[in-house]
Copies of this chain bind each other. A is one copy, B any other.
Amino acid sequence: MTRRPPRPRERGIPEATVARLPLYLRALQALDERGTPTVSSEELASVAGVNSAKLRKDLSHLGSYGTRGVGYDVEYLIYQISRELGLTQDWSVAIVGVGNLGRALANYGGFGTRGFRIAALLDADPAVVGDAVAGLRVGHIDSLEEVVAREHVSIGVIATPAAAAQGVCDRFVGAGVTSVLNFAPVVLNVPDGVDVRKVDLSIELQILAFHEQRKADGRGGPEWIEALEA
């Protein structure tokens, strides 16, 4: 294992890198809309709010898509990152739980523009079923399996109250969904091969509270270094 053939990426992109690719993608799209044809790692890093060395190492995991002395071609890099993230194909998403959060998700513009199609909105509450939200009719949760099959849903979004989340998750998994995005404040149990990501509003606040307290404690303390995450 000494020479690497001109094969671009070989499998195995670090998780930390994957988590930053969407950030780069967004920064690049902003540059593209402004008509910028090429960008250096320094500039792009600054827009994305990261260190330029990190950016270059991240991009190097996808392949050598830059030009030394020049930088990166914005459109080409957008394409490469999109492809790597799997955004060149369409993904069907089903959202379960049409409360305020579910509505916010359904109306969130960022989805449709990036290869995600909301295939269905489902809820258990008869008072909500039948409503029109974001141009879709809300269906009943009982049709989950049918909808997943018909619409080829591969990503399930859970925006229900905590108590209902595990049940919905089980039904998603049972119907063949292998990626779940969970907004309910519970730890979901899933079999191997199923990815779960969670977004938890109150956890983020608690982390902020911790740092905030540290800043206040520090009155009179010796050092004061504050780690920042952008």
Contacts from A to B (Cβ < 8 Å): 11, 15, 18-19, 21-23, 25-27, 47-49, 84-87, 89, 91, 93, 99-101, 103-105, 107-108, 110-111, 114-116, 154-155, 178-181, 185, 187-190, 192-215, 221, 226-230
| Copies assembled | 2
B93 adjacent to A205 (CB under 8 Å): yes
B201 adjacent to A84 (CB under 8 Å): no
Can you name 11 A-B residue pairings with CB atoms under 8 Å?
A11-B221, A18-B207, A85-B206, A86-B213, A91-B212, A93-B205, A105-B201, A110-B185, A114-B206, A194-B228, A195-B228
Residues in B neighbouring A105, C-beta threshold 8 A: 201
B49 adjacent to A187 (CB under 8 Å): yes
- Indicate which residue in B110, B187, B208 contacts A197 across the interface (CB closer than 8 Å): B208
B197 adjacent to A207 (CB under 8 Å): yes
Residues in B neighbouring A110, C-beta threshold 8 A: 185, 201-202
Known: A101-B101, A226-B195. A201 touches B15 (CB 8 A): no
A211 adjacent to B195 (CB under 8 Å): yes
In the assembled complex, the Cα of A101 lies from the Cα of B183 at a distance in Å of 12
Residues in B neighbouring A202, C-beta threshold 8 A: 22, 108, 110-111, 114, 116
Residues in B neighbouring A198, C-beta threshold 8 A: 230
Chain B: which residue is nearest A86 at the CB level? B213
Chain B: which residue is nearest A113 at the CB level? B202
Residues in B neighbouring A93, C-beta threshold 8 A: 205
B47 adjacent to A196 (CB under 8 Å): no
